[in-house]
Amino acid sequence: MNKYFSTKQYSNTNVEKVKRLNAKSGLSYREVIALLAAKYSNKKG
């Protein structure tokens, strides 16, 4: 039996592995933009 049959997969992608890697990757693009917007909006006013 193939070891990949026991994990959730879509198009040969191990979904659980992708979720784990994304969780460890750091801030998302939107999170960075939100932090920068908050930082620079505080400086102006």
Whether the CB-CB separation of 27 and 35 falls below 8 Å is answered with yes
pLDDT at residue 9, as a whole number = 56
Give the predicted TM-score (pTM) of the model: 0.45
Q: How far apart are CA 39 and CA 36, in angstroms?
A: 5
CA separation, residue 20 to residues 3, 15, 31, 42, 44 (Å): 18, 9, 18, 34, 38
Q: Which segments in the chain show pLDDT lower than 70?
A: 1-10, 44-45
* HSE (side-chain half, CA atoms, 13 Å) at 32: 5
Q: What is the pLDDT of residue 33?
A: 95
Structure tokens at 14: 């191990």
DSSP 5: G
pLDDT score for 43 = 74
Q: Note the pLDDT of residue 13.
A: 83
